[in-house]
Chains A and B, each alone.
Chain A
């Protein structure tokens, strides 16, 4: 669960500004002014000074244009040049996160710090109990020697004045696979041999220092200026993100300039069917269990961190892959964009080669904002394909895949199911035990995000709201049939 914050607002404002400029044909002229406009001298600076704030904005834009911050060769390269390359579709590398080093506040190396609540008492339990002899009292206040401290926390427990505070490093603590850590300068570095693109570090950093690399400019330019026929594939989670009915949302997406809008739920139907058959086959052959494979972050996890479990992961392609196949058959010359709440889908699409772009729900919102498209102004006459069913839209929430599978099984099936609702250090530990000691359940649904895709990292609505809206989007289909 992320709390809504100003770093999120900055990101969205930047996206809207970029699209507005591109839409008004003023991008090259004005992109280098964005840092000045967003961080004027008259405002009190967020960081040390206005210049730092502006540099942060500049590098956040650079990431939005799809570049690694570490790729910078010349600090004087204007944003204009990066924008030009972004529009031309410079080749993406397969890593979709980048640390904006200018924004990274290089949080503490040592998590414990003595606050000014320290009374300098006679007992000095912090000093007495420190196993590493790391505490000295200087001018009547305890002081922790960072070279000696091992973050054991005994001093904090021992202090009767609660004078020792625990200071976390939010990105490192949120990463379930220890893929992010500091370099010698204290700036965070992501290890992409370990990273599963779950996006948790990006959501956790209150400095907004971890950015995703986007394709938004390239995509929007090609639709608008090259009139490239591009089909939007819409993940069911997108329907949970706006206060409108599904038809209005789908029409508002079409209004951006896509040639067709197709729900990923169409492909999900095939995933359900084939995954059920695969499950029955595997179980009849004596396999103890099978896990889902639709969450790309989980699939990356199995590949990079739990290779022993790979043979238990379903081979059935994800709804996105099936939907792409259907689209490519019907419209072989059109480009395809996946719109969803997921960072890991950027990676999945990159590997699949068939999907040209990934756009996040957040970016879709920014495009609508810039183009003044409002979902509630769309007419609500149904435009939903009759090959979409409620169970397929249900994939977007935890438990949805399980319910879809059960809907095609016989009513009296006694399939034992289990849900791993969110990849955390703890749930990963549990998954690691399964190849050695099979779980009780024979079907395991794994979602990297707690609550499922409706709570993905690049969404717009808070999870309680999106849960209700998704149920509404599913019920729409049930009532239409009745």
Chain B
């Protein structure tokens, strides 16, 4: 683990994502396991527009290094980050 990989998590703050669970995801930083601490940048971003066609299945949405994760939750994000960690 010499060159530490970093991750960018962008949380959709569009209203639908926010009220359907997105607000909770802002607690992500507090829930990160030690191996991910200091390696994840977290920010809120305006609506990604993913909800237009398939609303119920999309929200809440996050982008992880630019890749969309629909129906996100803190645990799903952490599992995803851990699975890609080297």
Contacts and interface: CB of A to CB of B under 8 A. Distances in A.
A12 B13 CA distance: 16
A96 interface: no
Given A374-B47, A461-B26, A4 B15 contact: no
A4 B46 CA distance: 22
Interface in B1-52: 13-16, 18-21, 23-24, 26-27, 30, 44-47
A461 B23 contact: yes
Given A461-B26, A464-B27, A12 B15 contact: no
Nearest to B43: A243
Given A243-B13, A460-B19, A464-B27, 8 more contacts: A244-B13, A369-B19, A372-B15, A375-B13, A376-B14, A377-B46, A461-B23, A464-B30
A462 B25 CA distance: 9
A241 B41 CA distance: 21
A184 interface: no
Q: Which of A12, A241, A244, A461 has the most CB of B within 10 A?
A: A461
Contacts of A212: none
Interface of A: 4, 9, 12-13, 16, 241-244, 362, 365-366, 368-369, 372-377, 460-462, 464-465
Contact of B24 (A4, A365, A374, A375): A4
A244 B46 CA distance: 10
Q: Which of B15, B44, B46 has the most CB of A within 10 A?
A: B15
Interface string B40-66: 000011110000000010000000000
A352 B46 CA distance: 39
Nearest to B45: A376
B20 A13 contact: yes
A320 B23 CA distance: 27
Nearest to B73: A4
Q: Which of A241, A362, A462 has the most CB of B within 10 A?
A: A462
Contact of A243 (B24, B26, B27, B47): B26
A9 B20 contact: yes
B15 A374 contact: yes
B14 A374 contact: yes
25 contacts: A12-B20, A13-B56, A241-B23, A243-B13, A243-B44, A244-B13, A365-B15, A365-B19, A368-B15, A368-B19, A369-B15, A369-B19, A369-B20, A373-B15, A374-B14, A374-B15, A376-B13, A376-B44, A376-B46, A377-B46, A377-B47, A460-B18, A460-B19, A461-B26, A462-B23
Contacts of A461: 23, 26
Instruction: Report, nearest first, the 3 A-B pairs whose CB atoms are least far apart.
Output: A376-B46, A365-B19, A368-B15
Interface of B: 13-16, 18-21, 23-24, 26-27, 30, 44-47, 56
Name B's interface SS. helix
B57 to A, nearest CB: 13
Contacts of A374: 13-15, 46-47
Nearest to B19: A365
Q: Which of B18, B26, B45, B56 has the most CB of A within 10 A?
A: B18
B16 A16 contact: yes
Contacts of B13: 242-244, 374-376
A137 B30 CA distance: 48
B19 A12 contact: yes
A362 B47 CA distance: 19
Contacts of A13: 20, 56
Contacts of A460: 18-19, 23
Contacts of B44: 243, 376
B18 A243 contact: yes
Contacts of B30: 464
A227 B54 CA distance: 32
Contacts of B46: 374, 376-377
Given A374-B47, A375-B13, A376-B46, A242 B26 contact: no
Contacts of B18: 242-243, 365, 460
A409 B29 CA distance: 39
A462 to B, nearest CB: 6
Contacts of A242: 13, 18
